[in-house]
Chain A
Amino acid sequence: MEALFQAMIGGLVLGLIYVAIAVGLTIIFGTLRLVNFAHGAFYAIGAYVGLVIAQHIGVGWAFVAAPIAVALFAVLLDRLVLRLFYDKEPTAQLLVTFGIALVVEETLRLIFGATTQQYAMPASLQGSVTLGPITYPAYRLLFAGGVIVMLALVWLFIERTNYGLIVRAGIRDRIMVQLLGGNIHQASTIVFALGAAIAGLVGAAATPIYSIDPATGFAFLVPSFVVVVVGGLGSFWGAVLGGLLIGELQSLTNLAYAPASNVVIYLCMALVLLLRPQGLLGESEVIRQ
């Protein structure tokens, strides 16, 4: 019983990381029509920037520096490389973002070595909290709460601001936005930077929980893609639902029969694709070019 409860909270924390990465993937796909295999690299860069800043300056600053650094990196990447691939076929985009992810991974390996790293939380956050039958590390709960607040802010930005309105319109019809005088390129850059910043921040904040090595980017990217597919490409709530589902599924399977915990998410994806190809909350309608 306690183990089950423990696994469920663990699944929530893991699921929220997936949600955060998947939300970025999904809004970037919706707005830029870009399948971004470099998104895991954003997580990894955020984690390493966070690591360095936390060790040398302080944990608080790590949470500020990581999203800013990753957003800047993303904007540069967009301006210098990805822009050339906007009008190319999806395969070319896939290859170039995959290539970027590999370059980032190898660069991190050169700078930081291949070993697993982690930074310690300040003493004030190292305690545990008693939750009914179990005690749980306080930081993990704080992390979960923080991710939820961040996702709520992202949702408010998309649903309640004028910029968000342009973004949502652009998801459906980029041409019409421009015909109305809307700056779709600027909106795209903002969405790309926002998605990257989310991944970077979560990367920095999750490192005390899940240690980091240069391959971590891909380790989180692949399940996050599963989340996007399960939830429905382009759907915010689909990413939330899919992320929590995959996180719990993985965590609970790990408890029941650990060797199956990775394969189960692909089974889940296959099942969803068979029964509801557009994903749980995806729209079946073909999105306009």
Chain B
Amino acid sequence: MTAPAVTPTAAQTRLRVDGINTYYGDSHVLRDVSLHIGAGETVALLGRNGVGKTTTLKSIVGWLKPRTGSVTLDGEELVGCEMMAIARKGISLVPEERRIFTNLTVAENLKLAQVTAQKPGWTLDHVYEKFPRLRERLTHKGDEISGGEKQMLAIARALVQDVKVLLLDEPTEGLAPLIVREVENVIREIKSAGITTLLVEQNLYSALAVADRCYIIDQGEIKFEGTPAQVRTDEDLRRRYLHV
């Protein structure tokens, strides 16, 4: 079923997070977190609620600054760069709350991402082909569309830019089962398009179905690195770090 895991060599590594420690004020949230993603890989970051998944993503995109450690994209250091600069280098975060601009229409949300892109990614036609529901909602304001449509729009907004690494924060969270299925299909499309992706999920089976490799994080520390098959078969691991 699953392809054998490939551990990328240094030359293939696209994004490398190396021993970062991130704090909220005095509260030490990430402890020596390290992970790496090879070009074209889909990597899942799994863990319970409140263990530091979102904080890891925020530390990568410059939303939070790790006190120590390093984050590199194709070997280039990102810690200390501004959020805008990191985005322009090609790292795109689709945040947990989606953050659709509710005062703009669906079309304007996409247009904005095109306007702020350093390099164009998917064309609008390509987007509408993959997200047919968005085409029907183009003139609707961002607060007039469903949760599933917001998630689709948030992902589409990232893809109209030339993405080197896509960071998806719980894309299936809060969606109806049928819509979860649609989002999973979209993630599969992204994977087959060869886009390097870090997928944060609490929805274990959703993530295991698509990931090449996965990490498990607990209380701000990476506890496991391996294949989806390993996670599927190791019940003890799942009980300790994943099951609620």
Contacts and interface: CB of A to CB of B under 8 A. Distances in A.
Interface in B98-126: 99, 101-104, 108, 111-113, 115-118
A178 B99 contact: no
Interface stretch (A4-12, A17-25, A84-92, A169-177): A169-177
A108 B157 CA distance: 50
A183 interface: yes
B84 A172 contact: no
B108 to A, nearest CB: 6
Contacts of A166: 112, 115-116
Interface residues of B, number: 25
Nearest to A162: B115
Contact of B112 (A171, A178, A180): A180
A184 B84 CA distance: 9
A182 B103 contact: no
Interface residues of A, number: 19
Contacts of B82: 178
A33 interface: no
Contacts of B207: none
A172 B112 CA distance: 13
Interface string A268-289: 0000000000000000010000
Interface stretch (B67-75, B87-95, B195-203): B87-95
B151 interface: no
Contacts of A175: 63, 83, 99
Instruction: Classify the secondary structure of A's interface with B.
Output: helix
A171 B108 CA distance: 14
**Which of B88, B108, B112 neighbours the largest number of chain A CB atoms within 10 Å of its CB?**
B112
Given A165-B112, A179-B93, A181-B118, A173 B84 contact: no
B101 to A, nearest CB: 5
B83 to A, nearest CB: 4
B97 to A, nearest CB: 9
A155 to B, nearest CB: 15
Contact of B103 (A171, A179, A184): A171
A168 B84 contact: no
Given A166-B112, A166-B115, A179 B87 contact: yes
A164 to B, nearest CB: 10
B161 interface: yes
Interface string B51-91: 00000000001010000000000000000001110011000
Interface of B: 61, 63, 82-84, 87-88, 92-93, 95, 99, 101-104, 108, 111-113, 115-118, 157, 161
Given A173-B99, A181-B87, 13 more contacts: A165-B104, A165-B108, A166-B115, A169-B101, A172-B103, A175-B63, A175-B99, A176-B101, A177-B116, A178-B82, A178-B87, A179-B83, A180-B92
24 contacts: A162-B111, A165-B111, A166-B115, A168-B101, A168-B108, A169-B112, A172-B102, A172-B103, A173-B99, A175-B99, A176-B95, A178-B83, A178-B84, A179-B83, A179-B87, A179-B92, A179-B95, A179-B99, A180-B92, A180-B116, A180-B117, A180-B157, A181-B117, A184-B84
